[in-house]
A and B are shown apart, each in its own frame.
Chain A
């Protein structure tokens, strides 16, 4: 390990330092929102060292256990933006619900660190550790509202499911180690071609349970609606975006580096899981009345869409497709959750019928929510449309036309429940006409999410360029 290795992990060191610093700030000040503001500043500053990595060539550092490549940088950027937005939203949401406000921001930044590590690990030990790290902080965050029964339920449920999924995944890792005698992904990739196929299939299947849990893929999705419903709304937003994205990063790295050289037909496996996730998530979202449960099921269906991008991770469309989708989805999904947080805070309800007349009571938030819902359906010109366009094009380009057709059918189904929210806000008569208060920091976070959704939709070229530079995933 050399000094240049240390320079390459400055972003990670920065995040770790920031989280510890936040704990100190929390000790010294009584104004807890200050901790949140410092967290946002610190996260934004971390863009500088992350950006400086963009110009460097792809390589591994720290004895080949950690990748510094465009792919990892992309997920660092995504994680930092998502964390900053969620902290912003929490500044207005959290006060009055929990007395441990400062620690909340510190935990979020610690989680961000874990997610960044997950996306860049090239050693199965480090990968397992970073997944566990993320899981631990997420369990705490999900159960953060100690006085709230549902939040407690969310924390415990997330923990039980998560622990089981992690254990199964570790078992899969151990088989992989037994087959190849190495923990380094690149070493494994060199030797995997000689491994017996059945054992390799078993190992992949077991590992998928861990990744599938993080990305809420069917059949490892059961925790999602309960946890999203019970967890503090900003945490639910965070889990549905950042944690999911890092899960996809780890999954893609594993598939591309290790599994692809191993003569397995993993594409069909992923394609089938994608089709099942999309369809089941959608069908279960149809009858939901609670906005957070609806968004949870819809996020399962979006996981299916993202898996199209994984199955078609080749060629000009397939490779950037997944990344473009993730980035666009991040803004839209966060925005939708922020509106849910706002309404939950102001009206004390998460039921979609209670959104009636929102277009009169909070016109800006209602308009943004309508944009988010249309974006999630895949209407142009919005960010998720560009993402869907790319993954569908990637599927067709890679001979997966049937999967593209499944995706299209699911888009139509999803319109029904997304339009249900719009219908409540715009068509149904208002129960009251009192205007809602729209708090400042939450509004800023909401505005950025809305801007991101529309700008990516109208002018996607910079995002496409970024994603293209990021697909330089280090392989052997």
Chain B
């Protein structure tokens, strides 16, 4: 089942590679069919998932027996929502890219390869496999930015490539350190969590921890490793930005929860306060810089730095509570909030990048916030969805972002009360930034330049309405998703106590 979900997109990509260049329609249809099929199977997996059943749908085959590498997949309440999120955003991105006409074949192939890589990262339970999928996501993204990006695409693409490669190679060393200290040597993530091979070797544990930290922190990105992000986001094509913000960033936070926290809990606890401070800096810095932006895409990009800061605050709080049973409840709440925020950010910010694309790609061809004004009357549907997404992003109660942020603050207050108090002020900045943006774009007198702008067409509605609906549903009734996440997180916290 999981293999099918992961490799269906790649299969489609390979078929597309062998189609003649002229059959563009067939290529797009294959891409849509394969990514939709992947989504359907992932939803099927959700319906068959048993809450509290631990790792499920496991597949395990021997791959390179002489170094104990297995092809091992499995999902729990942490990875399953991320897999569904990946599948959803991928399908929507294919729909959005329907009008893509530049080098379509390569575009679709790379896109589907990217989807396979991302799904694989979330499902892999063997470090060797995890590393391969992790690296596989880098290459297509480099091409997506480098070929279909904006004016400074080459710079942004190579910067993204180099930054993330530094991280992944640091991770490779950390993986090898874990491998050689486990007895018997193993790449199995579950086995490494059970063995805790570095529990009695603080120096090696610290080395491994910082290796993983570098890799994940660059991916998240945490302040001060975030500088690749605005460049990559701004230059990437719309669907690329959506995937980048919606999913690739989550690979970093997923790594912290899946790897750093359970495998090196003692070391993580020792540095938890420091990491929480970095997260706090990201929250405040991201919000302030976003407020100063006039480029809509850059604004959303910096708001990502801000939101990922919340996620990291929640994770760091959980790490700070390791070994302290009195704080276990707070840790579980913080982790639930952090994972919920991952999903919420994927849906909301993914939606926001689509929104920027709708305006920029086919209508105004500018992203300057100050150049608009009064669009509310001219583009009612567009304005409605944008306002909804921005309100969700700033954390308005009743929408998805609020649930996530509330849980993160609630949980981390029990562990780092002062830091959390400062972090809450970040919400004020975020709110100010988005409200001000809404005002500048949609309110006021209509700028005559945009008097002939058309509202969203059917295909654009098809990409954005599902996301808007999800924001509302999970904002009002987060229980099903939260139960799923909580099943995995409470287990993790229990194991760490």
Contacts and interface: CB of A to CB of B under 8 A. Distances in A.
Contact of A419 (B63, B161, B176): B161
A460 B128 CA distance: 13
Contact of A393 (B135, B166, B176): B176
A416 interface: yes
A392 B166 CA distance: 15
B177 interface: yes
Contact of B172 (A317, A392, A461): A392
Interface stretch (A69-77, A154-162, A404-412): A404-412
B146 A408 contact: no
B2 to A, nearest CB: 18
A359 B109 CA distance: 14
A374 interface: yes
B162 A404 contact: no
B135 to A, nearest CB: 5
A396 B180 contact: yes
A397 to B, nearest CB: 6
Contacts of A461: 63-66
Contacts of B158: 416, 419, 423
Contact of B173 (A317, A392, A397): A392
A411 B166 CA distance: 9
Contacts, number: 74
Interface in A429-460: 459-460
A460 B147 contact: no
A381 B132 contact: yes
B455 interface: no
A461 B63 CA distance: 8
Interface residues of B, number: 33
A380 B176 contact: no
B162 A415 contact: yes
Interface residues of A, number: 31
Interface string B331-346: 0000000000000000
A316 B180 CA distance: 11
- Greatest chain A CB density within 10 A among B63, B166, B173 is at B173
Nearest to B132: A380
A332 to B, nearest CB: 16
A328 to B, nearest CB: 14
B165 A411 contact: yes
Interface in B133-181: 135-136, 138-139, 142-143, 146-147, 153-154, 157-158, 161-162, 165-166, 169-170, 172-173, 176-177, 179-180
A67 B156 CA distance: 54
A455 to B, nearest CB: 13
Contacts of B207: 401
A464 interface: yes
A427 B147 contact: yes
Contacts of A404: 173, 176
Interface string A145-156: 000000000000
A337 interface: no
A381 B173 CA distance: 17
B173 A396 contact: yes
A380 B161 contact: no
B66 A392 contact: no
A465 interface: yes
Contacts of B146: 423, 426-427
Contact of A374 (B139, B166, B177): B139
B273 interface: no
Given A392-B173, A397-B180, A380 B66 contact: no
A416 B157 CA distance: 11
Contacts of A389: 172
Contacts of B142: 419
A274 B146 CA distance: 34
Contact of B147 (A397, A408, A426, A464): A426
A397 B67 CA distance: 13
Contacts of B65: 461
Interface string B361-380: 00000000000000000000
Interface in A12-37: none
B406 interface: no
A468 interface: yes
Nearest to A378: B169
A408 B169 contact: yes
Given A396-B177, A404-B173, A427-B147, A412 B154 contact: no
Nearest to A359: B106
Contacts of A419: 142, 158, 161
A404 B157 CA distance: 27
A426 B158 CA distance: 13
B413 interface: no
B166 A412 contact: yes
A393 B139 contact: no
A411 B162 CA distance: 10
A415 B139 contact: no
Given A379-B135, A460-B64, A427 B166 contact: no
A419 B145 CA distance: 13
Contacts of B106: 359
A366 to B, nearest CB: 11
B131 interface: yes
Interface in A370-416: 374, 377, 379-381, 389, 392-393, 396-397, 401, 404-405, 408, 411-412, 415-416
Given A412-B162, A464-B66, A393 B179 contact: yes
Interface string B57-80: 000000111110000000000000
A427 B64 contact: no
Interface string B168-212: 011011001101100000000000000000000000000100000
Nearest to B204: A401
A460 B64 CA distance: 7
A411 B173 CA distance: 13
Given A381-B132, A419-B158, A465 B176 contact: no
A21 B143 CA distance: 50
B132 A408 contact: no
A381 B131 CA distance: 10
Contacts of B66: 316, 461, 464-465, 468
Given A381-B132, A396-B180, A419-B161, A408 B64 contact: no
Interface string A81-95: 000000000000000
A379 B176 CA distance: 16
B27 to A, nearest CB: 15
Contact of B169 (A393, A411, A423): A411
A278 to B, nearest CB: 13
B165 A380 contact: no
A408 B146 CA distance: 24
A320 to B, nearest CB: 8
Contact of B170 (A396, A408, A464): A408
Given A412-B165, A460-B64, A380 B173 contact: no
A203 to B, nearest CB: 35
Contacts of B180: 393, 396-397
- Greatest chain A CB density within 10 A among B132, B157, B161, B172 is at B172
6 contacts: A380-B136, A392-B173, A393-B179, A401-B207, A419-B142, A427-B157
Interface of A: 316-317, 359, 374, 377, 379-381, 389, 392-393, 396-397, 401, 404-405, 408, 411-412, 415-416, 419, 423, 426-427, 459-461, 464-465, 468
Interface of B: 63-67, 106, 131-132, 135-136, 138-139, 142-143, 146-147, 153-154, 157-158, 161-162, 165-166, 169-170, 172-173, 176-177, 179-180, 207
9 smallest CB-CB distances across A and B, nearest first, come from A380-B132, A408-B169, A427-B146, A396-B176, A464-B66, A380-B135, A412-B166, A393-B176, A461-B64
